[in-house]
């Protein structure tokens, strides 16, 4: 049976990157059922054991199954990534819509606040915040959200400024629509495509930042499994048991590369100029 063209386009559009992220999300959600062992079960007799039939990815310094800990660590990383993107995109889009549409002193005030946040290096501010508040998933999400919204705000503002002079916005304004309806029903759908692309890059940054904070001991406290924590736990045994750090590093690498590649594909498919500029056979 032939697949409808529209369905085929949506199945092909994400590419390998999108389906890899979907597979990771399914694996993380089903970790309690897919994990072959208890991720916190200690087996000192098997400490630093290489991959085997019973432990496909080997064991760490305490003999815990590395595959199980990777699956449960994916839950933390993907949760932090999705939560951070949701918070930052919502706040940033709201700020950008108001600044771009209202203009005047509102635009000036909101953009100067945005510039103040941009003056601070994001990862250093996140490290300082989590160091002051203590480790924890909620603190990591809040730390990454404090400065992560500024990119969405500036992007949304630029898009809104370009749309203000269009005919359809002039018609919507002439109908006397309320400000919330004007922003949410007319402007927001028009800037959804670039925001979606920005969200994929923000997701990749959040994964890297969460792994960095966990590596420094500022993420979820032990014995919670995190990818950054697995890297930190295996760095002392890098020469004698490289598998302990190799597999978490590969997981982080694949997730970040997949998210960035997905953003590139979405940009191409959501850009109306792409088909006109693409070469035809």
| pLDDT value at residue 72 | 95
Domain housing 180: 58-270
| pLDDT value at residue 255 | 95
With respect to residue 121, please indicate whether it lies within any of the assigned structural domains.
yes
> Rounded to two decimals, what is the model's pTM?
0.88
With respect to residue 281, please indicate whether it lies within any of the assigned structural domains.
no
| pLDDT value at residue 271 | 62
With respect to residue 26, please indicate whether it lies within any of the assigned structural domains.
no
Nearest to 244 by CA among 25, 78, 38, 73: 73
With respect to residue 257, please indicate whether it lies within any of the assigned structural domains.
yes
With respect to residue 84, please indicate whether it lies within any of the assigned structural domains.
yes
With respect to residue 34, please indicate whether it lies within any of the assigned structural domains.
no
Q: What is the CATH number of the domain that holds 91?
A: 1.10.3720.10
How many domains are there within the chain? 1
Helix, strand or coil, per DSSP, at residue 261: helix
| pLDDT value at residue 213 | 93
Nearest to 94 by CA among 207, 188, 190, 163: 188
* CB atoms near residue 162 (< 10 Å): 12
Task: Profile the chain (281 residues) by mean pLDDT over runs of 10 residues.
Answer: 52 74 94 93 92 93 94 94 96 94 91 89 87 90 92 93 81 76 84 91 94 91 90 90 94 94 82 48 41
With 0-12 / 13-18 / 19 or more C-beta atoms within 10 angstroms meaning exposed / middle / buried, residue 154 is buried
Distance CA 110, CA 118 (A): 12
- Classify residue 62 by its DSSP letter: T
With respect to residue 68, please indicate whether it lies within any of the assigned structural domains.
yes
| pLDDT value at residue 251 | 95
| pLDDT value at residue 11 | 53
With respect to residue 280, please indicate whether it lies within any of the assigned structural domains.
no
With 0-12 / 13-18 / 19 or more C-beta atoms within 10 angstroms meaning exposed / middle / buried, residue 72 is buried
């Amino acid at each position: 049976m032939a697949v409808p063209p529209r369905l085929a386009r949506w199945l092909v559009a994400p590419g390998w990157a999108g389906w890899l992220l979907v597979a990771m999300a399914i694996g993380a959600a089903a970790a309690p059922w897919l994990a072959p062992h208890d991720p916190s079960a200690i087996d000192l007799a098997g400490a630093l054991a290489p991959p085997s039939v019973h432990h496909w990815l080997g064991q760490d310094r305490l003999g815990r199954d590395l595959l199980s800990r990777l699956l449960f660590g994916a839950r933390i990383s993907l949760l932090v990534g999705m939560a951070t993107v949701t918070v930052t995109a919502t706040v940033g889009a709201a700020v950008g819509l108001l600044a771009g549409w209202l203009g005047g002193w509102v635009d000036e005030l909101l953009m100067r606040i945005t510039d103040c946040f941009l003056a601070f290096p994001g990862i250093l501010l996140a490290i300082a915040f989590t160091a002051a508040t203590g480790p924890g998933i909620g603190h990591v999400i809040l730390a990454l959200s404090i400065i992560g919204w500024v990119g969405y705000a500036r992007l949304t503002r630029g898009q809104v400024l370009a749309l203000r002079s269009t005919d359809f916005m002039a018609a919507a304004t002439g109908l006397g629509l309320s400000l919330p309806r004007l922003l949410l029903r007319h402007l927001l759908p028009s800037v959804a495509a670039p925001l979606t692309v920005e969200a994929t890059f923000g997701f990749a940054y959040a994964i890297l930042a969460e792994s960095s904070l966990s590596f420094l001991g500022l993420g979820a406290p032990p014995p919670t499994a995190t990818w950054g924590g697995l890297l930190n736990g295996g760095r002392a045994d890098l020469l004698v048991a490289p598998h302990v750090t190799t597999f978490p590093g590969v997981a982080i690498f694949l997730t970040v590369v997949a998210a960035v590649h997905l953003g590139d594909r979405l940009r191409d498919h959501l850009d109306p100029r792409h088909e006109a500029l693409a070469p035809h056979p």
